[in-house]
């Protein structure tokens, strides 16, 4: 599918606009609808510099340098309930599942492996402590946030699943999120088909007034 920005119906605001609207503490907790926050064109403060540093540290050229040799990661199947798990070396995962492999509409998500979520070891914490938290009133509260990190290739993604409040950010590349209220029945959903299959069939056949967030 073509990620046409015209189909995106989520409110967008720059970091500067968000602070103007909500004050220096940022977004209030339990905000009642999704919002996209983007870096303003004039951003040149310490926060922006630290974000650029984290982006460089996690680049394809540098990410493996943050971990011991032969570092293993826990992969999860990409289906709706993440039913399967297995370990693989980070370098092998990046080469075989990110660089060299594309998830197609015909791929089955229960057979597609993805690094996301299970990044809570001390090695991961040492990397993620440099991540710059978004501007929100609970983000600076001790114990108020739990960070996770994901790495995926072209077409990758997890089938429909449920989340509580949170922020998601693309550090590199692009990602298309689609969101429904918790009590909504997702049309055309199959837990073991790839998320790309849903995007190229169900999503692209919807009229604008039928679109999720």
CA atoms within 13 Å, Cβ hemisphere of 166: 12
What is the rounded distance in angstroms from the CA atom of residue 1 to the CA atom of residue 199?
Answer: 7
Q: Residue 76's closest CA among 89, 63, 85? A: 85
Which DSSP state fits 65?
G
Per residue in 55-109, pLDDT (tens digit) is 999 999 999 999 999 999 999 999 988 888 999 999 999 999 999 888 998 999 9
What is the rounded distance in angstroms from the CA atom of residue 169 to the CA atom of residue 74?
Answer: 21
CA-based Rg of the chain, rounded to a whole angstrom?
A: 18
What is the rounded distance in angstroms from the CA atom of residue 196 to the CA atom of residue 75?
Answer: 19
Structure tokens at 30: 């339990």
Which DSSP state fits 137?
T
Decide: 126 and 49 in contact? Cβ < 8 Å. no
Q: Residue 182 pLDDT more than 90?
A: no
Q: What's the confidence (pLDDT) of residue 39? A: 81
Whose structure tokens read 């089955």? Answer: 108
Q: What's the confidence (pLDDT) of residue 41? A: 66
The pTM for the full model equals: 0.85
Helices in 12-81 by DSSP H: which ranges?
15-22, 46-57
Q: Residue 160's closest CA among 75, 82, 106, 108? A: 82
The length of the chain is 213
Q: Residue 51's closest CA among 134, 132, 170, 169? A: 132
Give ∠ CA 145-130-120 in degrees, rounded to 5: 50
Least confident of 37-51, 53-67, 196-210: 37-51
What is the rounded distance in angstroms from the CA atom of residue 34 to the CA atom of residue 82?
Answer: 24
């Amino acid at each position: 599918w073509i990620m046409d920005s015209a189909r995106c119906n989520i409110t967008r605001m720059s970091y500067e606009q968000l602070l103007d609207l909500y004050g220096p503490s940022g977004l209030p907790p339990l905000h009642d609808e999704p919002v996209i926050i983007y870096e303003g064109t004039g951003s040149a403060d310490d926060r922006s510099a630290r974000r650029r540093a984290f982006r460089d540290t996690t680049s394809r050229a540098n990410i493996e340098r943050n971990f011991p040799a032969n570092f293993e990661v826990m992969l999860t199947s990409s289906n709706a309930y993440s039913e399967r798990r297995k370990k693989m070396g980070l370098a092998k995962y990046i080469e075989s599942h990110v660089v060299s492999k594309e998830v197609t509409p015909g791929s089955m998500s229960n057979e597609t492996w993805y690094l996301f979520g299970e990044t809570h070891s001390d090695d991961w914490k040492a990397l993620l402590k440099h991540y710059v938290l978004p501007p929100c009133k609970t983000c600076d509260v001790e114990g108020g946030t739990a960070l996770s990190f994901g790495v995926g290739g072209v077409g990758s993604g997890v089938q429909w699943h449920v989340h509580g409040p949170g922020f998601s950010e693309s550090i590199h590349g692009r990602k298309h999120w689609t969101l429904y209220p918790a009590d909504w029945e997702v049309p055309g959903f199959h837990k073991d088909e790839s998320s790309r299959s849903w995007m190229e069939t169900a999503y692209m056949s919807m009229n604008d007034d039928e679109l999720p967030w």
